[in-house]
Structure 1
Amino acid sequence: MKVKGIATFIVDRLVERSNHLSQGRSAGAIGFINQEGYIDSMTEIVNGGISGLPYRQMLSKIAKTDGESLLEIINQLPENAVVITTNPGKTGIIVGTGGLDIFNIPLISIGVKMGKAAGVGLIYPKKEYFDLSTESEDIQLHRLTAKTMEEEREILRESFNLQLNYLDICKELEQVDIPEGEISLVQVPEKEWQIPAIKVNSIDKEFAKRLVDKSIEVEQGREVAAIGEIIDGHIIQKGEIVVGGMGYVPSRMLASSYTDISGISLKEAYTDIIPHNIAIVHTHPGGTGVMHMGDAMAGPGSWGRPVIAIGHDKDGVIKGATVIELREEVAKLADEYEEVGQNYYNAQTPEEEAEIRKRRFGIAQEYTDLCKPLELK
């Protein structure tokens, strides 16, 4: 839906909350576009934490979040929803498209300077923005292939030139003096957004070997990945093998291993094209297959699909494989992580802050307990 403007009272309330929080903390809410094209209502405002805005907590104001992946939560949003956040110290300009890939709805940024609104930026989901994200991923990985300083210099020049395109993706949104509208939500049927949990017990050993062989071939430390299909608890290769970076595989590149995602968001890809019975399979060079919080959030935490890691040594010997499935525990830990991140600012003594910081590390460690060993056969 097109946005003509945003109610002044919404901007004022969010700026006021950001100023109250201080410390450069953001505030955010889900806003709603009325029939005339103006944003005249929003959910309860949530406070930013030590890691930024708690999106799950913000979405919980209008959607069921307990035990759900981020994709399941987002798919409960109405068509007239927008994400509104403050950006202390900035003018409101938006120079990134990561949020569009996840939410696939308009994003609004309210710049805050010296305690006042400096500007309101707006960005829409557009085909060219998603393709720009894909191109950015490709260039960053291309840098790893450079064999001389001159080659890397040229790749960096290309990357910097590409970044200039992001300066033109944001439009300034007008503030209008209109009364507050009522929030009228129609609940989305559960069958339209819930992703079934699928058990995984084993993985095709030849599939695992192909991944490891590719990892050894490209360069030590670079992860490779592919989409696998789950059939009766067993994973076989379904997508093409893609080569990522040092310790990561870009999200759009990973999805493209299964299907062409040109011109669409990751949210659209995992909702409308990529089936539920797939798994994200990647290598862990130098490891045994044990995963961490980042792996969990890149798989079941965000997209509701199991994530598998194949650990191997420098000679290509597979040390093990584990899976983190779509489980309620993944979501519970994510919710607690956001909550603890906000509690950081409530600490009154060094001892309280120390306990909060230790719990944040503890939550991250508990994700490793969700790893289930897989049989290679």
Structure 2
Amino acid sequence: MKKIKGIAGFLVDGLVESTRLLGQGRNVGCFGFIDEEGYISSHTELVEGGLSGIPLRVLLGKVAAMEGNSIIEGLKQLPDNAVFITTRSGKTGLITDVTGVDFFNLPVVSIGVKNDGVAGVGLIMPKPGHYDLATEAEYLNLETLVTDTMEAEKEVLRKTNELGLAFLDLSDSLPVVDLPEKEPVKHSPVESSWRLPRAKVTALNGELAKELVEESISIGQGREVSVIGQLDDQGVVQPLGKIIAGGMGYVPARLMASSAADIKGKSLREIYGDVLPDNAVIVHTHPGGTGVMHVGDASAGPGTWGRPIIAIGHDQDGEIKGATVIEVEDRLYQLADEDERLNIAFFDAGTPEEEAEIRNRKFGIAQEYTGLCKPIELT
């Protein structure tokens, strides 16, 4: 990838001013574009952050066709010279994690905003080593669940802190340069040539379900386990990868993909966009549940990665209570779009009644996500 020499001052000023006007600790983001000389000299329209930070679907919609598409399908449409840019209120621009560069597989620029001005501009470039650090971070986050002595837990925490220190040296300061001001780039989104299948899931391999539950019971503590399965021509999810142990109520995205993919040196965008098969299905356990899923499951499966997600509910004795699937469908993406709009509208509410209406609708959206769960058979 071409070296980035600097970022246009007018773009930095615009982002900082928008952040200042928003206040409340909210950030502002956009995609920038590297020109032939190596400068970030143009950009998309600015996107305001909401309750959950920068709304990804809105952000991607400035460049990609997002209607009826998952996040990964949007990421696959990004041009090669794109850069993700975000402001950080109360920070200096120092980038202390690899989350953004791992997700986008793009350079990430962080603009620190303090006292209504620029506090620094940081840059982190996509590199295979950064992605391996992200894997290590996921692994260490789970390690405390398997330690059985105080000394062992101390060692894990020590490694976690050492990794945090290593993150401090991954970003560089990016020069701000004087370049001619340009209007935001407005793309006319067209249907992507890369789209994941919208296949229907009718059943799950029963032996695979039993293996997952047995593993879930063996590690205990209410931890979820997952595996990447593969949908056959009859709509039945068959075994594909190895079983991966997760945490309490979640399985990290990179480790989850390692079930059926070589993730070394690869970003999340590469893993879910290029490495995993298109007909992959995420299968995981819900200890203590019946298999009913919620907004978090929908986002972790079809919402972000464009693949169906299955949950197997079971009790502490290993008895399977049920299994459901959330498939890839337009209604899910309509709900995701509405939820992002509400996260922004929350800050525009002028009365308690308006805020209550927004909160009630967000609760309704969460209910609708659960309503997308479809019971499936074990064969």
TM range (shorter): over 0.9
Question: Match of 2:198?
Answer: 197
Question: 1:233-271: per-residue Cα shift (whole Å, max 9, x none)?
Answer: 001110000111111111111100101110001110112
What's the CA shift for 1:183? Answer: 7.0
Alignment of 1:354-373 (within 5 A): 354-373=356-375
- Partner secondary structure for residue 131 of structure 2: helix
Paired residues of 1:76 and 1:187 also in contact (CA < 8 A): no
- 1:22-50 superposed Cα distances (whole Å, 9 cap, x missing partner): 11111111111111010111111111112
> For 1:155 and 1:182, how far apart are their aligned partners in 2?
49
**Aligned partners of 1:99, 1:146: CA distance in 2, in Å?**
29
| Equivalent in the alignment of 1:306 | 308
Deviation at 1:184, TM superposition (A): 7.2
Q: Of the candidates 243, 246, 249, which is equivalent to residue 244 of structure 1?
A: 246
Picking from 319, 329, 333, the partner of 1:331 is: 333
Post-superposition shift, 1:304?
0.6
1:87-146 alpha-carbon deviations (Å, 9 max, x no partner): 011001111111222211111111000000111111111111100011111112111111
Q: Which residue of 2 aligns with 1:259?
A: 261
Contact 1:26 1:52 in 2 (8 A): yes
- Contact persistence 1:202–1:376 (CA under 8 A): yes
Tell me if structure 2 keeps the 8 A contact 1:3–1:33: yes
TM-score, scaled relative to structure 1: 0.97
TM-superposition CA deviations, 1:163-188 (whole Å, max 9, x none):
11110111110000011357778889
User: What's the TM-score, normalizing by structure 2?
Assistant: 0.96
What displacement does 1:220 show? 3.0
Give the Cα–Cα distance (whole angstroms) in 2 for the partners of residues 299 and 111 of structure 1: 32
Aligned to 2:224: 223
- Structure 1 residue 353 displacement after superposition: 1.1
Q: Is the 8 A contact 2:43 2:185 kept in 1?
A: no
Partner of 2:104: 103
Residue 305 of structure 1 and its aligned partner are, at CA, apart by 0.5
- 1:271 maps to what in 2? 273
* Aligned match of 2:94: 93
User: Residues 317-356 of structure 1: matches in 2 within 5 Å?
Assistant: 317-356=319-358
Q: What is the aligned residue count? A: 377
The farther-off stretch of 350-359 and 235-244 is 350-359
Secondary structure at the aligned position of 1:331 is classed as: helix
- Give the aligned partner of residue 169 of structure 1: 170
Q: In structure 1, how many angstroms separate the alpha carbons of the residues matched to 2:75 and 2:38? A: 21
Backbone CA RMSD of aligned residues = 1.5
Aligned-pair CA distance for 1:193? 2.2
State the SS of the aligned residue for 1:345: helix
Hey, what does 1:212 align to over in structure 2?
A: 213
Matches within 5 A, 1:16-31: 16-31=17-32
Q: Percent identity?
A: 56
Residue pair 1:220, 1:285 contacting (<8 A) in 2 also:
no
1:109 counterpart SS class: strand
CA distance in 2, matches of 1:229, 1:318: 21
Output the CA distance in 2 between the equivalents of 1:319 and 1:296.
20
User: 1:94 & 1:186 partners in 2: Cα distance?
Assistant: 29
Aligned partner letter, 1:140:
N
- Distance in 2 between residues matched to 1:136 and 1:192, nearest whole Å: 34
* Structure 1: 5+ residue stretches without partners: none
- Contact 2:342–2:362, Cα closer than 8 Å, also in 1: yes
CA-CA distance at 1:61 after TM superposition: 1.5
* Contact 2:203–2:237, Cα closer than 8 Å, also in 1: yes
5+ residue gaps, structure 2, are none
Does structure 1 conserve the Cα–Cα contact (< 8 Å) formed by 2:45 and 2:185?
no
Are the equivalent residues in 1 in contact too, given 2:298–2:309 (CA < 8 A)?
A: yes
Corresponding residue number in structure 2 for 1:138: 139
